[in-house]
Structure 1
Amino acid sequence: MADKKKWRDLDTRQRRAIIVGGTVQAALALAAWYDLSHRSSDQVNGPKPLWAFIIAINFIGPLAYFRFGRARRRS
């Protein structure tokens, strides 16, 4: 098994990629949690506590919530 790199062993580009990726992930999760908290239960597909948990899953959770968790508006 390869030795794990420490932060100080990473070059500037790798550090920047980690910071950008983490920022995007955090922003997606915060936006999804905000949206979930401001919707009524009838505007969410499934139980809100379950979606709150799913949103915590890296990238996939918030994207899944925005795609499948919000009930579509009926015209």
Structure 2
Amino acid sequence: MNDDIDRAAYRRGINQALARMRESTRRRKAVRLDVSLATIDNWQSGATFPSEANLARLANASGTTQEAIRTGAVQ
């Protein structure tokens, strides 16, 4: 991850994007994104951040952009 990115904003963007997804449970979101529940937990806590491929899937599944997620500007 680029050190110039605001980690708190990125984490906020991830949580906003996950909330926008149509799937109602974390398990369904994980299945849709092809990641584990632990991965979702790590993203939400800021312990880890999505790979570029996973970020692209998250952006697509939530109807937003990768840049909006990175900057915490998901609407």
TM-score range, shorter chain: 0.3 to 0.5
Q: TM-score, normalised by structure 2?
A: 0.33
Instruction: Say which one has the larger Rg.
Output: 1
Structure-1-length-normalised TM-score: 0.33
